[in-house]
Amino acid sequence: MRITDLLRENGIELCGKAANKQEAVEQMVALMGKTGCVSDLETYKKAVFRREEEGTTGIGEGVAIPHAKTGAVKTPGLAAMVLPNGVDYDSLDGEPAYLIFLIAAPDTEENIHLDVLGRLSVLLMDDDFRKNLIHAKSVREFLSLIDAAEAEKFDEPKEESPKPAGSYRVLAVTACPTGIAHTYMAAESLEKTAQEMGISIKVETDGSGGAKNVLTDGEIASCECIIVAADKNVPMARFNGRPVIVTKVANGINKARELLEEATSGRVPPYHTDEKNEASAYGGEQESFGRQIYKHLMNGVSHMLPFVIGGGILIALAFLFDSILAPNGDPNNFGMNSPLAAFLKTVGGIAFNFMLPILAGFIALSIGDRPALAVGFVGGAIAVAGGSGFLGALLAGFIAGYLIAGMRRLFDKLPASMEGLKPILLYPVFGILIMGAICTYLINPPVSALNLWMSNSLENMGQASGLLLGAVLAGMMAVDMGGPFNKAAYVFGTASLLDAAGNSVTSPVMAAVMIGGMVPPIAIALCTTFFKSRFTAKERQSGLTNYIMGLSFITEGAIPFAASDPLRVIPACAVGSAVAGGLSMLFGCALPAPHGGIFVFAVVENWPMYLLSLAIGVAIGCLLLAVLKKPLPAQG
């Protein structure tokens, strides 16, 4: 259906005035009423405001497109208003809105409003088109401008060379460090938005179970552009010579439309694997050094997590079974006093001890490619053996990566006949030798001393300072629900599970971190249950899933709620998490496992008070969220 089929002359106002967003929407609804498309104007207005509660429809660039789909609409309709002086519409870019289109869709017409919304969004990306509409002298000129632009864009497509069957205009890859939530949320957002815009897309997800829906060579060769929305490194050599947008995974969730519009604009430069700065970040800017460091770190963390979680939970189970099967066993040999416990602790310990070499190896791989992997592994292992632990392995990973990157430039000057010797002889021999010397003489002595000081400080930490540390770390878990702050706190917690000698220990820090990550999803789920008027029907349904995710220590369950209402959801969850983490430290709770949620509570030291801390934090987060969120307008 064409835009001009829905937009009528009596539904257009070229000299609108509004003091605020509410007044602008009310005027738009009144305009819609003149078109005769709506049978119950009050019900329709409530539906429009209800949609605004879910998130602003001010798309930026001076444009807002409010819309509602309801049984109060008889036939699809469209109204438009130009506000020469603009109005504050809470737009995504913070700028006033000068041009507002209101869409009315009956609930019998499947996705008619999304079709119109997609067409409008595409047309309104053109600066000249927007300016011409705002300065139109008459309603008929306004309509003719839209008719001409729509005909040019949608009715008369440019001739294109035939594409092979199964090809796509846009391809995408999504990936986050843990591969649990952000990866698939970004994929879903890109797919849904592409469908709304009429763009064919295929999304490869690099999740915790490996890459799925993998892009083929033929698809890569025939597409217009590839979007890489990732917070860890993904295989990029296959995209050499193709237009590529590289951005963080959060933009895949929150800025899908902008990414797709840029991808289909024809302005994206080709990606080349031999460039120093291999890819452009979102918006055409080069990735900052800080973001590159973050991606390298997350590449190490994502590969480390299976060893940490698998090995850590097996060790926790060993403690649990030893307390049941050998209650009078040697306390100095706890976890090894019964055959089953000894087996679990041995296997878990072996897996867990791979943690730091894996971290260092894959950080190095992210920076220096395959030749750096062995050098990073060795550096991580030397860091463990030398007592520098997590910090030493972290430094070893980055040093190994940049060491190999430097050696590659140096060895480029060698004759071409020696090219085959580089990966099998030169890089491993010189790389491991230099890495060993750096770790042994430069990293291990100062870092091991620092680790010993930190360990002693934690042991001697007073009640007040322990409470503060627990509150800060737990609060960080709720600030960005799986983002950099969350990951930083979690990595700090897992590092505390190893002592200076590399042995696994029970950690009060890990207990505070885990409880901080459990609070947001459970608090939101509780709020959707007891304060239903604050949430839409879809949110209430999602709330039930959050009970399971929260109890399983999957903080990402809170992301959809935080994304739709960050100024209310994030502070409420962060306060609840901070209280829970502080109480956990205050009560002396400690945890030997890096994950597991409610399923490892049995091995938590002082678990009754740990459970109480969780309950208090959840209750505070729930009540604070209920106070901050306003009840939604009652449905008509």
Active-site positions read: 67, 176
How far apart (Å, rounded) are the C-alpha atoms in residues 64 and 480? 28
DSSP 603: G
Residue 573 CA to residue 509 CA, distance in Å, equals: 19
Question: Residue by residue, what is the 3-state secondary structure of 74-120?
Answer: CCCEEEEEEEEEEECCCCCCCCCEEEEEEEEEECCCCCHHHHHHHHH
- Measured distance CA(199)–CA(265) in Å, rounded: 12
Residue linked to tokens 């590159």: 292
Instruction: Give first-to-last CA distance, the chain, whole Å.
Output: 28
Q: Which two tokens stand for residue 246?
A: 């590289």
Please answer whether residues 171 and 201 qualify as being in contact, where contact means their C-beta atoms are separated by less than 8 angstroms.
yes
CA–CA dist 129, 291 (Å, integer)? 36
The CA distance from 409 to 416, in Å, is: 14
Going by C-alpha positions, the residue among 441, 286, 433, 302 that lies closest to residue 374 is 433
Determine contact, residues 473/489, Cβ cutoff 8 Å. yes
CA 470 to chain centre: 24
> What sign has the CA pseudo-torsion 95, 99, 104, 109?
negative
- Distance in angstroms (rounded) separating the CA atoms of residues 469 and 464: 9
Q: List the Cα angle 349/352/355 in 5-degree steps.
A: 150
